[in-house]
Structure 1
């Protein structure tokens, strides 16, 4: 995500934090303790440059290698954005107490059945079928 943001415009750490917060509609704001070590890693990998400006602010820009990496991983970035959008929908749904209860119940039952029990291939197929049918039924609501 950071490289994608930087591909549109060089930035500073605080601006990156705000850009990520905007992408998540305010639901996630990375702390400086997350952003700056990540930027150091990206710089070590040669994907970004960090230059100190007058006044001590650090200007962060994507490198040619960073742009190439971003282009090569464009499909992966699309998957991340899709997952982020899906999580935002889930976050909005959880504002309704009844929906929150229903979703938590679903997650608990799914965890109990799938993660804490050994399911046969047939049972797993049944669980997947139930989820697919529920999704279809919800999609067909007026």
Structure 2
């Protein structure tokens, strides 16, 4: 799931970024300080930390890794494959220490996004909506279905939507 807006500041979504300015740099630096990582691992770890609500794109992650490397905050380690792992440098640790409050706030924001996502994102509800969509599309495609039946199906869907809206 990529960048879905869940109503939390910076929660992703169209036209909004999850992180402002140097925030992504700090998040990546913190994750690399926790353990040496490669780009794909960073994407997956952020997705895990947000409960699947947000996964940054490679087009955002890899340039940020390159910038952290150029800044001397991380350095490539020997790797046993095509994926280059990075570890934090002494300068990177000092940078994290200097920005500890901001790092803590970003970590809390990721956790809040995960919690919000967990409360609002129900696999069972998505399955039920997919099922409803498939059944409705199947029924509406049938040529022998009368116009009256088509309107009846639409009315049922509208009725269910109204009932759900009224739930407290």
Give the TM-score of the pair, scaled to structure 1.
Answer: 0.59
1:89 aligns with 2:94: no
Match of 2:82 in 1: 56
How has the CA–CA distance of structure 1 residues 91 and 49 changed in structure 2, closer, same or farther, with 3 Å as cutoff?
A: same
Match of 1:68 in 2: 94
- Residue segments in structure 1 that go unaligned for 5+ positions in a row: 97-142
* Contact 2:49-2:114 within 8 A present in 1 as well: no
Counting matched residue pairs gives 96
- Residue segments in structure 2 that go unaligned for 5+ positions in a row: 1-26, 123-168
Q: CA RMSD in A?
A: 2.0
Once residues 57 and 89 of structure 1 are traced to their aligned partners in structure 2, the CA distance between those partners, rounded to angstroms, is 31
Give the TM-score of the pair, scaled to structure 2.
Answer: 0.51
* Greater helix content: 1
Once residues 14 and 51 of structure 1 are traced to their aligned partners in structure 2, the CA distance between those partners, rounded to angstroms, is 15
How has the CA–CA distance of structure 1 residues 55 and 89 changed in structure 2, closer, same or farther, with 3 Å as cutoff?
A: closer
Of residues 79-88 and 32-41 in structure 1, the stretch that sits farther from structure 2 once superposed is 79-88
